[in-house]
Amino acid sequence: MPWSEKTARERINKLMGDAPTFDVQRFEDYWPIYEERQIALSSERKPSSPPLFDLARGKAVVVDTVQIYIGITNYDDYRLEDKRETEASHDRAMRLLHLYYSAADRVFETSAAQRVDFHGGRVHAVVLERGSGGVSQETVAQAFAFIEDFQRVADAANRELANNEFDARFRIGVDVGTCVAINNGTGLEQEPMFLGSAANHAAKLADGSEPGIYVSDRVRHLLGLPELGDLGGMFGLQETQLSMNAARRDLEGELVFGVQDRQAFTEKVVGGWRDEIRRGEFPDFTTPVFKFFYQQPPLSKIDYADLKPSRSIRMPVVSLFADLSGYTDYIDSAVQNGGIRDAVRALHVIRQEFQNVVEQDFGGRKVRFIGDCIQGVIAEGTKTETDNRASVSLGTQCAGGLHASFRLCKTLLGNLDDLGLAIGLELGFTPISRIGIRGERSVRVASSVATTVSERMQRECNDDEGLKLGPDALKVAPTALFDLMDDNGYARELDYGEIAVCLSAVPATVASPTYARAHIAEPQAAPRAHFKSE
């Protein structure tokens, strides 16, 4: 069914009625409860999970953290072949991610750090502070110990299991601070989240082309290093690369292994991994692993439980990133003023409505929530091929529906005037699968140039209600859309009804195939230009 205000309003009101009254705890109060649960699971021989990984619905935990993001700076070297994406290059890129996701999870199993999520070429990890006096030097040392172990295992796995095919270079961002932990998922779609500026800032530090370890002034202060101060710029703080050895030299004490023990740990992990490959329990990285098939739209039919390397989707899709602007400041303020319950309840409602819009209204599929951002894929087509123009048309309508539902959420929830929504779209061949350690710990992934560009388009929206199309989406977009956006594919304050009216004027063979036609609203008003004038 198409997006409609009546349906969206009813959904949002129901979500508000069903939303839990969040129980907010400090981590030091949560920890004894978690330990009791682990003892009970162990006695029943049931699998356990790391703390804060699978929090119950309605639970929020305030915790001091070290946030770690690890990005692969030369990722495009593996997913491009002669500057193009091909089936072979996507197999190689997915094997690269499969190797490094698996390496990270194998280190997590014996580390103080734990996995939050994987997203494309990025690993998000966290080390939890169990004390009550803020993040300690010892906890920072544990974070750097994880970083070193990950790099050692990843390098050894590439050398010994993949014949040196993947010479990945890493850029690592580290910040410390108080976050609010919640969980949005169940079963195969667990989505632990750490909301707050520390997680946000660590991600920004890891976003760059130069490898190395980049730390915030807050980390530098804990390490007893000179702070650089607030010198302005995009992130507010001027950061510097930090030598790992210098950072850890005076902190480790007896907390982490020595070099010989660390080497023995690496050999044990990779040796066990090699045995799994020999027994056929894990794919061999030296041969093509990923077998791709086409998924007939609508993509809402995708069942991630059915996906694995030997059964992965690859097809042209519209990649969508929709990010709440201002939410990090909102949650940081809530931590300070005691408004956490309302802040996480609002996010619970908004994110679920975003998923409803993507999947129920436009037949797309959510890939994951990344903090306060939703990543999705959308396509229109036949049993055998994607209709690129119709997919861009449908994706743009979905963006209009997200903006319209977001405005309703702000009205019905109240006190959200400072929040905005930025959306990026791009079209391109995209592999979709589950990779990493098998079972419930394997990870949903949709990773391509289109996903990277759509995320960048979202970031390039400079106002609270922006939408921007990537260059490949723009090439095939229905001409009528340019009544609503500028030549660079940018628009602000889009209204779903106007998009629908605009596209309804385009011949059905161009922009209104079967599925898209079903999503055209009744005319409400003539479209008006929404691009930003110079």
pLDDT digits (tens, 9 = 90+) for 443-475: 999 999 999 999 999 999 976 789 999 999 999
pLDDT(238) > 50: no
Residue 303 has a CB neighbour count (10 Å cut-off) of: 8
Confidence band for 510, pLDDT divided at 50, 70 and 90: very low
The length of the chain in residues reads 534
Single-letter code of the amino acid located at 302: I
Check whether the bond before 298 is cis (ω within 30° of 0): yes
Q: Which of 212-221, 265-274, 484-493, 517-526 has the highest average model confidence (pLDDT)?
A: 265-274
For the entire predicted model, the pTM comes to 0.89
pLDDT(247) > 90: no
d(CA 136, CA 133): 8
Single-letter code of the amino acid located at 409: C
d(CA 245, CA 297): 51
Q: What pLDDT, on a 0 to 100 scale, did the predictor assign at position 424?
A: 97
Burial of 98 (0-12, 13-18, 19+ CB in 10 A): buried
**Which of the pair, 49 or 201, is modelled with greater confidence?**
201
Q: What pLDDT, on a 0 to 100 scale, did the predictor assign at position 529?
A: 44
**Which of the pair, 260 or 123, is modelled with greater confidence?**
123
Q: What pLDDT, on a 0 to 100 scale, did the predictor assign at position 439?
A: 67
Q: What pLDDT, on a 0 to 100 scale, did the predictor assign at position 474?
A: 96
d(CA 86, CA 88): 5
d(CA 74, CA 475): 27
pLDDT digits (tens, 9 = 90+) for 269-303: 999 999 999 998 888 998 888 999 999 999 999 99
d(CA 492, CA 484): 9
Q: What is the mean pLDDT of residues 487-499?
A: 89
Q: What pLDDT, on a 0 to 100 scale, did the predictor assign at position 38?
A: 85
Map tokens 């510097």 to a residue: 240
Q: What pLDDT, on a 0 to 100 scale, did the predictor assign at position 259?
A: 65
| The Cα angle at residue 329 between residues 326 and 334, in degrees rounded to 5 | 120
Q: What pLDDT, on a 0 to 100 scale, did the predictor assign at position 169?
A: 95
Q: Are 468 and 365 in contact (CB under 8 A)?
A: no
194-214 CB burial, b ≥16 within 10 A, e <16: bbbbbbbbbbbbbbeeebbbb
Q: What pLDDT, on a 0 to 100 scale, did the predictor assign at position 186?
A: 59
**Which of the pair, 53 or 407, is modelled with greater confidence?**
407
pLDDT digits (tens, 9 = 90+) for 150-180: 999 999 999 999 999 998 999 999 999 999 9
Confidence band for 185, pLDDT divided at 50, 70 and 90: low
Q: What pLDDT, on a 0 to 100 scale, did the predictor assign at position 37?
A: 86
pLDDT digits (tens, 9 = 90+) for 340-377: 999 999 999 999 999 999 999 999 999 999 989 999 99
Q: Are 307 and 94 in contact (CB under 8 A)?
A: no
pLDDT(244) > 70: no
Q: What is the mean pLDDT of residues 396-407?
A: 96
pLDDT(534) > 80: no
CA distances from 523 to 235, 281, 362, 407, 503 (A): 43, 57, 19, 20, 11
Q: What is the mean pLDDT of residues 219-246?
A: 56
**Coil, strand or helix at 97:** helix
d(CA 394, CA 300): 14
Mean pLDDT over each residue of the chain, to the nearest integer: 87
Domains detected in the chain: 37-278 (3.30.70.1230), 292-517 (3.30.70.1230)
Q: What pLDDT, on a 0 to 100 scale, did the predictor assign at position 257?
A: 52
Q: What is the mean pLDDT of residues 212-234?
A: 74
Residue 336's contacts (CB-CB under 8 Å, 6 or more residues apart) are: none
Q: What pLDDT, on a 0 to 100 scale, did the predictor assign at position 363?
A: 97
pLDDT(526) > 50: no
Q: What pLDDT, on a 0 to 100 scale, did the predictor assign at position 448?
A: 96
Q: What pLDDT, on a 0 to 100 scale, did the predictor assign at position 226?
A: 79
Rounded to the nearest 10 degrees, what angle do helices 259-278 and 137-161 cross at?
40
Q: What pLDDT, on a 0 to 100 scale, did the predictor assign at position 464?
A: 73
Q: What pLDDT, on a 0 to 100 scale, did the predictor assign at position 465?
A: 81
